Copies of this chain bind each other. A is one copy, B any other.
Amino acid sequence: MDALSRLAIHTITTKPWSLEQACEHYAAKGVAGISVWIEAIEGREPADVKRVIDAAGLEVPALVRGGFFCDPSPVERAKRVERNRGLIETAAEIGAQMIVLVVGATPGQPLVMQRNWVQEAIRQLLPTAEQCGVQLAIEPLHPMYAGDRSCVTTLGQARRICTELDHALLGVAVDVYHIWWDEHLEHEIKTIGERGELFAFHLCDWRCPTRDMLNDRALMGDGCIDLKTIRKWVHDAGFDGWEEVEIFSDEHWATDQSQFLDLIIDRYRGLLEPT
């Protein structure tokens, strides 16, 4: 099997490129998958998006990102569920295997209560996921986003929602950036994998020092995360899906994206080498 056959890249990683440019460059370098951010296809017909991606011979691990379920108003929460139904349909229409759910957070609301809102919202979305044949992947975010982006901050919390709802189309997205610091990491990856709920594996690195809370992710190898060890745990847990590179970086976005893509591929190949 070719080394890049499980490599996918998130469109946000090469944000300066249009969908067409991303597809063209990824395919030319042998990258097999593209995870599509909704911002990259705004205003476009899903069928048109699918045509572009199919023409490049790429597969689509994920549509990124749904979720953002949290709000004190039940009416607003219902609206957000509805919006996610639309996104799940979009995911199906562009041929995405899953939709990544960043669950949201409302400043000042108790986190336990918010995680209940999330669970209830996902419960309501499962029939749509079934109809569309699209997986839902809960992505825990780093605790530095607990105030306003995600009340789910650990794999354990994501896993417990999956256990409660117990549905074959519901699982977890493991993004090294968010969970690398967690002392329960190995155990959680193993448990989630054994339950068949490890749906996605996202790669980047944690820069030291980090200069910006949103857009200063590092290329694999330029940070402090022990990627090879985490990757081993993920594979030992039975994961054989896509390895998705997801880097938000003002620094890298300002560079030549073609050279950046070469670097990404180079670093990814390095991860595959035996230690």
Contact = CB atoms under 8 A, between A and B. Distances in A.
Contact of A146 (B153, B157, B181, B226): B181
A45 B173 CA distance: 55
A206 B147 contact: yes
Contacts of A224: 107-108, 147-148
B210 A144 contact: yes
Contacts of A154: 183
Nearest to A209: B148
A251 to B, nearest CB: 16
Interface string A152-166: 011001000000000
A99 B209 CA distance: 26
A143 to B, nearest CB: 4
Query: Secondary structure of the A side of the interface?
Result: loop
Interface in A36-54: none
A208 interface: yes
Given A147-B206, A206-B147, A111 B153 contact: no
Contacts of A182: 143
A112 interface: yes
Query: Which bucket holds chain A's interface residue count?
Result: 20 to 34
A110 B226 CA distance: 8
A202 interface: no
A208 B148 contact: yes
Contacts of A153: 181
Contacts of A180: 146
A153 B213 CA distance: 18
A141 B147 CA distance: 16
A110 B213 CA distance: 23
A186 B122 CA distance: 27
A223 interface: yes
Interface in A211-259: 211, 213, 223-224, 226
Contact of A183 (B108, B157, B223): B157
B147 A111 contact: no
Contact of A210 (B112, B147, B208): B147
A213 B209 CA distance: 10
Contact of A111 (B111, B144, B183, B209): B183
Query: For A110, A153, A182, A208, which residue has the most chain B Cβ atoms within 10 angstroms?
Result: A208
Top 8 nearest A-B pairs (CB, nearest first) are A107-B224, A146-B181, A107-B208, A144-B144, A147-B208, A143-B181, A148-B208, A147-B224
6 contacts: A107-B223, A142-B143, A143-B144, A143-B181, A143-B182, A144-B213
